[in-house]
């Protein structure tokens, strides 16, 4: 009987041995690894925040806190707060008037429970609760 090609047991092909990486390639990998650590988004963001805070502190120390407040903070506040307050004020007034009955009712409830008897009861329960943790 003649052996066919398919009757032969399979053999593994041998792969060539890997060469050791050169020193230049190893140092490049180390630099890439360190760049990836520093280049990560959270780390970069932290560096930017620290840098901005440092520059702000330097600016405040050069200007002085009063001048910084008068020339930087107040104009920014006026430019942002005044239009916002003008837009929200009518709605806030309307809501304040609509909740008048509810606020009066809550006030009456609070006045009715603000008695000496209720205060003693609350103080007793609070002291019992504190004793549980001792």
pTM for the predicted model, two decimal places = 0.33
User: Alpha-carbon distance 125 to 64, whole Å?
Assistant: 53
Which tokens hold the place of 88?
A: 């929200």
User: Alpha-carbon distance 128 to 122, whole Å?
Assistant: 10
Q: Which domain holds residue 111?
A: 99-134
Quote the pLDDT of residue 59. 85
Quote the pLDDT of residue 7. 64
User: Is position 79 within any domain?
Assistant: no
> pLDDT 10s digit of each residue in the chain, 134 long?
555 556 666 666 666 666 666 665 555 555 555 556 556 678 889 999 999 999 989 988 888 989 988 988 888 888 888 888 888 899 999 999 999 999 999 999 888 888 889 889 989 999 999 999 87
Quote the pLDDT of residue 33. 57
Handedness of CA 26, 32, 37, 38 (dihedral sign): positive
How many domains is the chain partitioned into structurally?
1
Place of tokens 């942002």: 80
User: Alpha-carbon distance 110 to 68, whole Å?
Assistant: 45
Quote the pLDDT of residue 125. 92
Please state the length of the chain.
Answer: 134
User: Is position 130 within any domain?
Assistant: yes
Quote the pLDDT of residue 112. 86
């Amino acid at each position: 009987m003649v052996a066919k090609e398919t009757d032969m047991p399979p053999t593994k092909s041998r792969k060539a041995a890997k060469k050791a990486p050169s020193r230049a390639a190893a140092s490049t990998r180390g630099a890439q690894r360190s760049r990836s650590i520093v280049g990560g988004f959270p780390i970069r963001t932290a560096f930017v925040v620290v840098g901005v805070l440092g520059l702000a502190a330097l600016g405040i120390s050069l200007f002085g806190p009063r001048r910084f407040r008068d020339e930087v903070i107040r104009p920014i506040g006026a430019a942002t707060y005044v239009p916002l307050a003008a837009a929200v004020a009518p709605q806030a007034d309307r809501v304040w008037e609509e909740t008048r009955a509810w606020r009066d009712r809550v006030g009456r409830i609070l006045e009715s429970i603000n008695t000496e008897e209720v205060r003693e009861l609350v103080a007793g329960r609070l002291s019992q609760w504190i004793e549980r943790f001792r």
